[in-house]
Amino acid sequence: MAVTRDDVKHIAALARLAIPEERVPELVAQLNGILAHMDVLRDVDVSAAAPPAFGSAPTPLRRDEGPPIQLAAPRESFAPSMRDGFFLVPRLATHESEDE
């Protein structure tokens, strides 16, 4: 499964990374080089695979009560842009529920 230029552009978009055009060939080569080392996994017999023992404990449940973890500093101290308590971001280009 070779990674192509279009693959790199597609995954960069999924990951919200802007890759300059001149860096794409280098990344294609590097990703292919790395993934080539993973090919060895294809031929491994995984019929005996089972989840590791320590992963089978159940997730702990917490009680439905507060208090929440307190913030030692107000949100405004670390937020890039706030107004009247809202976090502000540039207006979405579309209005819809998710941007792909």
Partner 1 sequence: MSAATHEFEMVVGLEVHVQLKTRTKAFCSCSAGYGAPPNENTCPVCLALPGTLPVLNEQAVRLALRAASALGCTLNERSVFARKNYFYPDLPKGFQISQYDKPLAERGKLEIWGANGGTQAIGITRVHLEEDSGKSVHDRYPGVTAIDLNRAGVPLIEIVSEPDLRSPFEAGEYLRELKLLLEYVDVSDANMEEGSLRVDANVSARRRGERTLGTKTEVKNMNSISGVQQALDIEYRRQCAVLAAGGRVEQQTMLWDAAKQEVRPARSKEGSHDYRYFPEPDLLPLVIPKEFLDATRSQMRELPRAKRARFKGDYGIDDSAPGVSDSGRGASDAELLTATRERAHYFEAVVQAQKHGDPKAAANWMITELLAWANANGARVSDSKVTPALLAQLTDLVHEGALSHTAAKKVFAVLSASGGDPRAIAEREGLIQERDAGALARWVDEVLAENPAEAARYLGGEAKLQGVLVGLVMKKSKGRADPKQVNQLLSGRVSRGGG
Partner 2 sequence: MTAVERVAESFRRMDDVKAGKDGLNCVLWSDRDASLEAARERDARVAAGPLAGVPYMVKDNFATLGLPTTCGSHILRGYVSPYAATCVSRLDAAGGVLVGKTNCDEFAMGSSNEYSAYGPAKNPIDPSRVPGGSSGGSAAAVASGIVRIALGSETGGSVRQPAAFCGVVGVKPTYGRVSRFGLVAFASSLDHVAMFGREVDDAALALEIVAGRDPLDSTSVDVPVPAVRAERGRTKDLTGLVIGRPREYFPEHLDPRIAALCDRALERLASRGAEVRAVSLPHTALAIPVYYIVAPAEASSNLARFDGVRYGLRLEGEGLRAMYEATRSGGFGPEVTRRILLGTYVLSAGYYDAYYKRAQEVRSLIAADFRAAFAAGVHALFTPTTPTPAFKFGAKADPYEMYMNDIFTATANLAGVPAMSVPVGRVDGLPVGGQIIANHLDEPAMFRVAYAVEDALGAEAHA
Residues in region 68-87 near partner 1 by CB under 8 A: 68-71, 75, 81, 83-87
Say how many C-beta atoms besides its own lie within 10 A of residue 39's C-beta: 9
Q: How far is CA 48 from the centre of its chain?
A: 30
DSSP string covering 37-51? HHGGGGG---TT---
Does 52 participate in binding partner 1 (rule CB under 8 A)? Answer: no
* β-bridge mates for residue 83, sequence order: 86
Positions that interact with partner 2 (CB under 8 A)? 1, 3, 7-8, 11-12, 14-19, 27, 30-31, 33-35, 37-38, 40-42, 44, 46, 48-54, 57, 59-60, 62, 69-73, 75, 77-81, 87, 89-93, 99
